[in-house]
Structure 1
Amino acid sequence: MKKAIELFLIFIFFSILLVVTNFYVKDIYFKDSFTKIALDDAFKKMRGKELEFKKNVQQETENILFSIRKFKYLDEYIKGKVENKEIIEQLFISYLNSKKAIAQIRYINKNGFEKIKVSKTEFNSKAFADSKLERKSSRYYFKESKNKPYEVVWFSELDLKMKNCKPILPYKPIIRIILPVKNDASFAGILVIDYSMSEFLTKFTNTPFYDVILVNKKGETLYHYDKTKAWSKYNSSNFNIKEEFPLYYEEIFREDTFRSNYFVSKKLDVDIKSGLYLILQLKKSHLDAISAVEFKKEITVALITLLFSLILSFIIIKIFYKYVITIDDLKMLNFNLKNKEKTISDHVIYSRTDLHGIITDVSDAFCKLSGYTRDELIGSSHNIVRHPEMPKSVFQDMWDKLKNEENWQGEMKNLAKDGSYYWVNAIITPEYNINKKLIGFISIREDISSKKDFESQQKLMLEQSKLAAMGEMIGNIAHQWRQPLSVISSASTSVILKKEMNIDVSDKDLIKDLLMINDQTQYLSETINTFRDFLKNDKGIENIVLQDKIKEVSKIVSGTLHSKGIDLILNIDEIKPISMSLIIGELPQVIINILNNAKDALLENSVKNPWIKVDLLEKEKDVIISIEDNAGGIPEDIICKIFEPYFTTKNQSLGTGLGLYMSYKIINESLGGSLYVENTENGAKFFIKLNKNM
C-alpha cells in the first residue's frame, strides 16, 4: 500500500509539473506561431495588393491610353487636322466618366503646350477652352517623355497634387500615366492621364490586423499608419523610414521581399518611377487580444488535465495490483514473436534491397529456393539470381515503375546457385522510412515453376487468376506487417535491455508495452492465418461462417481500397450468421476477383466518391452475395462476354481476362452455385448465389 501511495504522489507531482510546463511552453509557442502565421498571411496580402494595383490602375489606364491612341481622329489631329478636336474631347470625356479615379486626360504637343484637356469638376466633366490651356514644357514628366520609347506607357512618381509648387490640402495623391506618341518617326507629344490615388490608397492600406507603411526607394513615406509621418518630404519632420527601421533599412531596399520577426516588406512589381515598397507589421493590440483569449483556454485545459490526471492515477493504481510482469514473461513473448517471424520466413519468399538493388535481407524460403545461403545473398546485387534469358525490357519496365515509386508485378525466370532455373511471380513494392522517404524495395515472390512446367491449361488459368488476387493481398499484408513488427521488436527489446541492465522500468510502462505487444502479435497471427489459408493448394473442405469469411476477405483488400480513396461498405450482419462448408480458398478468390475488378473500374473511370457495397441476402434455401460499385456499369454490347476466358477491356498490366472466367467456373462448377451480373443505376452488380446446405 505504501508503494501505491508513493506512486500516486509521484504521478500527481509529475502531472502538475507537466501541466505547468505545457502551459508556459504553449504560451511562448502560441505567440511565435501566431506571429509566423500572421506574417505568412501578410505576404499573401502583399501579393494580392500588388495584383490589385496592376489590374485597377496599371492595366486599365494602359488600355485607355492605347485605345485613345488608336483613335483615327487623334492621329489626324496630330498631323494637323484641327477640326477633329471636338470629337477627341468627347472621346476623352467618355473615358473620364467611365473611371471614377481618372481626374484628367490631356494631349500635350511636341512643344509642351496643352492642346486638348478634359477634367472632372464637382458636378460634371468638361473640356478646357484654348485660353485656359497651359504650357507644360518645363514639367519633369514632359522632359523625360522625350527620351522614353515612343508608343510605350510609363508611370510618373506617386505624388501629391500641387498648386503654386505646394501640395493642395487636404492631400490629394495622384499618379500620371504617360504615353509618348510619334508622328511618322518624330516625337509628337504625350497623352497624359492624371489618376487620383486617394480612394485606391484608402482601400489599399485598409486592414484591421496590420500597420501599413508605403515608401518610395528613397525611404520617404507616402503612407504611414501614423498620419504625422505620412508624405514626409512635404512636412517639416522630413521623416525617413530609416529612423523607424534602422537595423533593417538596407535589407528592405536591397531585397525584393524581406521578413523579420515582427514585420515583412516587399518591393511592389509596378511600373512607377520612384518605386513602391510596402511594409506590414502585426498590430500589437490584435496580438494581445488573441493572446488573452488563448490564455483563458489554456487555464481551462490545465484544470481539466489536472482533474483527469487525478482520476487516471486511481485507475492506474488499481490496474497495478492486477498485473505483475516479470522478465521471464517478456522473454517468452519475445520467443513467441521470433517463432512467428520464422514461420513467415519459412513460408514467404521475400527479399529486401536498397535503392541500388543490393540485397539487405532475405527469407529462409528465398534461400531454399535459390540454393544460396543468407550470407552469400546479403550484400550481393539482386542480379545474382537473374537468368540470362530474361528480356532486358522486363527489367527496364520494372525499374521505370520503381523509380516512379509504383508497385511492379511480373513473372521472372531466376537462376539458382546450381545452374538450374525456377520461375517466380514477383511483387515489388517501394519501402519508406518513418519520414516517408524512399529507402529501398521489398519483393514478395511465389515459386510458379510447377505451374510453368506441368499444370494443365485449365489449372494454368486458375493460378493466373489466383496470382493476381494474391498479388493484391500480399502487397497489403507486406505493407501491414512492417509497422506491427517494428513496434513489437522495439518495445520488447527495449524492456529486456532495461531489465538486464538493471534500469528501473515503471510498472505502467511494462503494462503499456505488453498490451501493445499482445495486440500486435494477435494482429500478425490473424493475417498469417488468412494468408496461409489463401495459399493452400489442397481442395479440402472448410466449415465457415459466411459473414466472417466475407469480413476476412474484405480486411485483406481494405487497405488497398482505402489508399485509393474507395469506400468499402459491408451490409452483411442484418441476417443471422450463415454456416456453410466450402472448398478452401475458392469463395475468397472469387470475392477478391470481383472486388479488384470493381476497384479497377472505379480507378479507370476516375469516379468521384467511389464505393463498393457488399450485401448478403438469405432466400429460402439459397444465400446471395451481391457486390455493387458506382463505376457506371458495363456496356450492354459486352456484358454477355465478360465471363469468357481472356476477355478483358483493361490495359494488359491490369489483368489477363481470366479473373471473372475462373470466378464463373468456381461458382458454377466447383461450388454448384451461379454467378451473374446486372447493371444498376450506379454501376455493375455481381450476384453470387449459393445453396446454404452444400
Structure 2
Amino acid sequence: MIDKSLLIRLFSCFVLLSFITVIIVKNKEEESLNTALFKEKQNLKKSYSHSFKRLKNKVDLIFFNNLHDENIYTAFINKNKKKLFSYLKNDFFYLKSHGLKQLSFYTKENKLFFKMNKNIDSNSLDLIPFSLRKKELDFYELLKQNNVISFTKPIFNKELDFIGSLKLEFSLNSLIKDISEHSDFNTFFLLSKKSFNSEHFNKFLLNKNYFISSDNFTLKRYSLKNLKDIKKSYKHNIELDMKNKEEFSFIYSSSKVLNAAFFIPIKNINSYTDVYLFAFINKEKTIYNQISNNYFWILILVHFIYLFILFLIYKYFRMKKLKNSVSKKYEDLLLSIDKYVVMVHTDTKGIITYVSQAFCNICGYSKEELINRNINILRHPDVSPKFYEALWKQLHEKGYWEGEIKNLDKFANSYWVKGSIVSKYDSNNRLIGYISIRVSTTNSKQLKKINNLLKEDLSNKLNEIKMKDKDLLDNTKVALMSKVLDAVAHQWKTPISNISINLANLKGKIRTKEINKKDIYILSENIEKELKTLSISLNEFKSFFPKNSYGDKYDINNVIEEAVSSLKEDISRLNTTVSLSSKENLLCYGIHNEFKHIFINLLKYSLNKVEVHKIKNPTIDISVIEDNNEIIIKYCDNISVENRVIKKIFNEEYIKNFSQEDINIYITKLLIEKSGASVWFEKNNNGLVFYIKLVSEDRRKKER
C-alpha cells in the first residue's frame, strides 16, 4: 500500500525545491541576459565610435586631398565666388556620392560666404561660440530638408592667420549605413528640436518629442510592429528616461523571439538639439533566445534531477519499510515455527545444534538441556539398533529419510513422531548436518485405539437400537391405529345404533303382530343403507396400514383427477366448479390410495358445506407448486367456515363431538401425517385454504 504521508511530504519538498530553483534560475537567467545585453550595448557603442572615426577620417582625407589648395584659399580670401565654385565643382559632385551633402565657407566673423548646394539651408555655424570657431568641430544638425552631421575645419593663410571656416555636412544615413555594414544593429538617429516642422521627418512612435527621418532608406528599416513590441516590453517610461538623457537598454519579445533595444544619448555641441542613437536587433535566432532556452532546459533538467532524487528517496523509504515488514514477518514466521513446528537440527555426528520450542514441548526437555547433546538421548529401548543403522545408511546414500519413530521423553514416557530428515549444506555445497521436521502421532495412535473400542461398543449399541426401533415402529403403528379407531368409532356407532333401533322396532311389531310387508320393506332398506355406510368405512379403514408404509411412486395430477372423477356426480349436482393448476409429470412417493382418499375427504367436506349452507356458485381451486424439491398443494374453496371449527377438528380432544364430516377431515389429517407430509390451514375472505407439503424424496432408497 502506498504511504500517503510520505508522498505528501515528498511532494511538498518537491514544490518547495521547485519554487526556490525557479527563483534562482530566473535570477541567473536575468543576470545572463543583462550581461549579454551589456555586451551588445558595448558593441553598439564601439560600432558607432568606429563608424564615426571612419567618417571623420574621410573628412580629413577630403579636406587635405581635395580642399587644401592654394587657389581655393586665394579665391576665398579675394571673395571671388565664381572662381571658388569652378575650383570646387568637380570635386564636390564626386564627393556627393560618398555622402557629402553640403560644402560651405564662413568668414572669420563666422558669416556664411559661400555654399555649394543651394537647396540646403545651412547657417548653424552662427550659433557656435566664438571661442570654438578656430577649432575643428563636429556636431549633429536637424535641418528642414535633412538631418546631417557637420564637420568644421578652420582655414589659415600662410602666415597662419585665421581667415575663415570650412563646413562639410554629411548625411546621417551614411553613418548609419557604415554602422549596419559592420554590425547586426538596426540603427536610427533621433533628433529633438524645440520648434521643428518638416514634411521630411516623422515623430518617433516611442517618444513624440523626438523625430526620425522619413526618407526611403529609414522607412524600409522602420517597423511599426517592432516598435509596438518594444514599447510593450519596456516596464518604465521611455519619454522620461530620454528626457533625463539616460542611457538604457532592454530585451523585448517579438513573435516569441527575444531581441534587444538600445537608447544611447550622443554628445552634441549644439545645446538646442538632443541626439539619441536608437538601435534594435531583429533576428530570428539571438543569443537571448539561446540563453533563455538554455536556462529553460537547465530548469527542466534540475526538476528531473529533483524528481529522480525524490523517487530514490521514496524507493529507499519504501524498501526500508518493506524490509522492516519482511523482517517483522520473518520474525513472526520464526516465532510461529519455533512455537508450532517440531524441528531439530543436528551436525553430521548427531549433535543437536537447534531445537524448536514445539520439539521441547513434546520431549519435555528445555532448549538448554538439548543443545550440544547427542540426539540419541531420545532413543527408546524398544527400538532396534538395526532401525537406526538403516536410517543413517539411507541418509548417507540418498540424503533424506521419512518414517515414524518411537522416542522416550525426559520423564521416561513413550511418544511417537512421524517426520522426515533431510541433509543440510553450506554455501560451498558441503554437508554440515541434518534437519528433522516431525509431527507427533501419539494422540492419533491413542485415538485409533479408542476408536476401535468405540466401534465395537457402537456396533453392539446399534444392534440393540435396531431391535428397539422395530418395536418402536410397531408401537407407533399401534398408537396411530388407536387414534384412527377412536376417530372411526363414532363413525361406526351411528349406523350400528340405527340398525339396533330398526331391529328393536321389528321385534316390537312382531310381538304385537302389527307388521306388514311395507314395514318390512322399509326396515330392510334402512338396515341395508346403514350396513352399506358401515361397509364403506371398513373398506376405507383397511388401506391405512399396508405392508410397505413408504408406498410407491405416483403422479400427483393423476391422483387428484381420479379423486375429482369419483365425486363427479355430486360435483355436477351441486353445480360446483373444480379447477386444477399444476405442471405435468409431478412425481411423489407414498400410498396412491391414501393420497386419493385424502383428496376425496377434502372434496366431500367442501361439497357437504355447499349442500348444508346452500352456497351459490361454489368453486374449488387446487394448485400444485414445486419449489426447491418440495411439492406444496394449495386447496382453496369459497365456502365460509369458522376458524374455531377447523381448530377443533385438528385437535383430537374434541373427537367425541365430531360430526361425520369432521371425522373425515380428522382422518385426512392423520393420513397426511402418517405419510410423512405436513398440513396447515388458513382462513381468507372467501373461504378455507388447506396447505399440504408432500414428501418428494424416494425414501425407499434410504431403506435399501
* Bigger Rg, structure 1 or 2: 2
State the TM-score, normalizing by the size of structure 1. 0.32
TM-score for the superposition, normalised by structure 2: 0.31
